[in-house]
Amino acid sequence: MAEAGDENLYAAARDIARALGKDPSAAGDILQILSGYGATGNTSSNSRASTASRGDANLNRSLNSLERQISSYIVEDRPIWSDPVDSRSFLDAVDDLLAMAGDLRSMAGDKSVAVCISRADELIQQVMFRLQEEFAYVMDRASDTFDSDDEFSGEEDNDIGYDQIIVARPVTDYKIVIEPLQSSVIGDLNAIAVRMVSGGFGKECSRVYSSRRREFLEESLSRLHLRGLSMEEVQDSPWQDLEDEIDRWIKAVTMVFRVFFPSERLLCDRVFSDLPVSSVTDLSFMEVCRGTTTQLLNFADAIALGSRLPERLFKVMDLYEAVEDLIPKMETLFSNKYCSPLKHEAVAIQKRLGEAVRGIFMELENLIRRDPPKTAFPGGGIHPITRYVMNYLRAACKSRQSLEQILDHTGNDAGSETRPLSVQLIWVLELLESNLEGKKRTYRDLPLCFLFMMNNGKYILDKATDNELGSVLGEDWIVKHAAKLRQYHSNFLRSSWNQVVGLLRTESPYPKLIENLKLFKARFDEVCLMQSQWVVTDEQLREELRSSVAGIVSPAYSSFVGRLKASPEINGRRGEPFIPYTVEDLELRIKGLFKER
């Protein structure tokens, strides 16, 4: 009875301390006051010693009682949280133990209390180990009993066994929040977390929590069909396979940073609410997200460090823009000191992707330089290198803003050459035109050289008109290139048809006129036959050339025939001279010039 009375006395002391607005650790002082009731006003040193001795005995008895109560739970094989009544009673006992430990430490100057402090600390350690196990049990039980028909679970998962982790189904609505744990479970976890942090086991609690949530995230990420390639596997994979993986990566990273991580942050805040410090919450969230974030960033980094082949530009740009969109979300989600390294790594990888883009443009330049003249391209049509480069640049300019950001960047490493986007593109086109100039020399026929440059020049101009590419190149470039095209047109007519028409521009005597007419016919037939096999792909250019040829030939031929018929030499002769073609005949032949392909 005396022991029970002492325990009640200690509890009363703690209640009085709280009621007075004091820290419960003051219970020890109040206990000593209460223990002194009934003593005489003239208390001797012996009576004070007797009172202190009784106070120590009271603490020992209270500690013994708590130890017996708590040990009965610790030695249990079954989980304490399998029974709500047991879990509540256990938490009350833990609270009393932590409060008593605080009281004892407030009296740490008293050597007689040192043994009690040591016993209390040892018991706290045992309690924390058991709470750690219970925390894991509650999380595992929640995974086992989570409703597999939840709106975030895929239909194909309805047959998942209870021993597996239920994960979120990929969705396209990014305004949702996944709630993988029920409110009652979160309440249990929070209750345990608060005690573990108070007992100095915050890191251990965080470790258990983050390991379970990482499993959830890893399973969820696998549902997004990412292959989880290593750096070496990325380097060894065919580019076509990597293109598909990049598409999946962009969808996955969007889901992860817009749905999964915000949901994990919310869950983390709820589980670790009401803690005296926020570091456990931040540390836990970082540990949950670190593995998934690192896996995603490593893939982007492997692409950035890979080949610089020109065909890789567009997917590398997709990755660059995806990481760029990712960084503001990381600024919000990863604002604490523990997550800062992840955010800094994303910024570094975006920089490396930008360096990859600049390297790809350099490789494009090299590709143009290395494309040899070889043999003449049939018919003087549009060369494949022209089609490739122009379609490439036009497609690249769909990401104009990002390209300007990358190519105009002035903060690159020393020795890294940079050009504004407009300068870069104009330089590429100058290389292309220089390459085409070399290719035109493979033609033996001078007019065909000019036709080749005209065909390719027209294609270049058309691809750079009324779109982002033309906007980047600027109006001055468009005007200058159009002038070049007109010059090619003029040179083509002068080098071929002007010579043919020259046979008709003569004031020679009648016999000479007859001879020139024969020469004209032969030359006209020869040129028509030859140029009917030449290629002018663009319909507008084809009609312009035919019209230009007719505009030169028809008036000259009509005038020539008129002079011939009016010649005095035919007066008195029988009939008119033989005229091989009418003007309409010539124009019909001219309409047969140039084929589409």
Instruction: Summarize pLDDT for 561-588 with one digit per residue, the tens.
Output: 888 887 766 655 545 667 889 999 999 9
- Number of Cβ within 10 Å of residue 44's Cβ equals 10
Please, which pLDDT band fits residue 375 given cuts at 50, 70 and 90? confident
What pLDDT, on a 0 to 100 scale, did the predictor assign at position 586?
Answer: 95
Residue type, 492: F
Q: Looking at residues 441-463, what average pLDDT do you find?
A: 95
Q: What is the DSSP letter of 175?
A: T
- The per-residue pLDDT for 145 is 60
Amino acid found at 509: P
The whole-angstrom separation of Cα 6 and Cα 414 is 78
Quote the CA–CA distance of 350 and 345 in Å, as a whole number: 9
- pLDDT average, residue stretch 482-509: 91
474, two tokens: 């600027």
Confidence of residue 226 (pLDDT cuts 50, 70, 90): confident
If you average pLDDT over every residue of the chain, what do you get? 84
**What mean pLDDT is predicted for residues 364-376?**
89
The model's pLDDT over 153-211, given as tens digits with 9 standing for 90+, comes to: 333 444 434 344 445 454 555 567 788 789 999 999 999 999 999 999 999 999 999 99
Residue 472: pLDDT band (50, 70, 90) is very high
Rounded percentage of the chain residues whose pLDDT exceeds 90? 61
Give the span between the Cα atoms of 66 and 100, in whole angstroms: 10
d(CA 294, CA 346) in angstroms, rounded, equals: 9
Separation CA 9–CA 304 (nearest Å): 71
CB distance 495 to 450 below 8 Å: yes
Buried/exposed code over 130-147 (b: 16+ C-beta within 10 A; e: otherwise) = bbbebbbbbbbebbeebe
Give the model's pLDDT for residue 414: 45
At residue 168, the pLDDT reads 46
Q: Which residues contact 347 (CB under 8 A, 6 or more apart)?
A: 327
In which region does residue 200 sit, left (phi positive, over 0), alpha (psi from -120 to 50) or beta (all else)?
left
More confident residue, 99 or 48: 99
Predicted pLDDT of residue 14? 55
Interatomic CA distance for residues 280 and 193, integer angstroms: 9
| Residue of 5, 59, 83 lying closest to 37 (CA atoms) | 5
* Interior angle at CA 546, CA 541 and CA 550, nearest 5: 145
Domain ranges for the chain, please list them: 56-142, 212-361, 370-409+416-590
563 Cβ contact list (under 8 Å, min separation 6): 507, 513
Higher-confidence residue of 145 and 229: namely 229
Average pLDDT over residues 206-220: 92
pLDDT of residue 222: 87
334: amino acid identity, one letter: F
Find, among 503, 493, 507, 506, the residue nearest to 523 by Cα.
Answer: 503
Query: Positive or negative CA dihedral for 207, 211, 213, 218?
Result: positive
Helix and strand counts by DSSP (H, E) for the chain: 23, 0
The pLDDT value given to residue 106: 81
Q: Look at residue 419 in the predicted model and tell me its pLDDT.
A: 74
Tell me which DSSP letter residue 570 carries. G
Mean pLDDT of 333-340: 88
**Residues in CB range of 362: below 8 A, 6 or more apart:** 308
Residues in the chain: 597
Distance CA 163, CA 180 (A): 16
Tokens 């443009």 identify what position? 361
Residues 3, 25 contacting (CB under 8 angstroms): no
Q: State yes or no: pLDDT of 475 exceeds 50.
A: yes
pTM, two decimals, is 0.78
Question: Which is higher by pLDDT, 541 or 413?
Answer: 541
CA–CA separation, 412 vs 409, rounded Å? Answer: 7
Integer Cα distance of 508 and 492 in angstroms: 28
pLDDT of residue 161: 41
Ranking 29-43, 277-291, 430-444 by mean pLDDT, the lowest is: 29-43
CA torsion 331→335→339→341, rounded to 10°?
Answer: 60
Lowest mean pLDDT among 147-151, 209-213, 243-247, 472-476: 147-151
Report the pLDDT value the prediction gives residue 421, as an integer from 0 to 100. Answer: 93
- Residue-level pLDDT at 232: 92
Which residues on neighbouring strands pair with residue 535, listed in sequence order? Answer: 595
**Among the CATH numbers 3.40.640.10, 3.10.20.30, 1.20.1280.170, 3.40.630.10, which is that of 370-409+416-590?**
1.20.1280.170
Backbone angles phi, psi at 41, to 5 degrees: -65, -30
Distance CA 412, CA 358 (A): 11
Q: State residue 78's pLDDT score.
A: 93
Q: Which of 287, 298, 170, 178 is nearest to 234 (CA)?
A: 298
pLDDT at res. 576? 64
pLDDT of amino acid 174: 59
Indicate the pLDDT class of residue 558, thresholds 50, 70 and 90.
very high
More confident residue, 239 or 151: 239
pLDDT at 19: 44
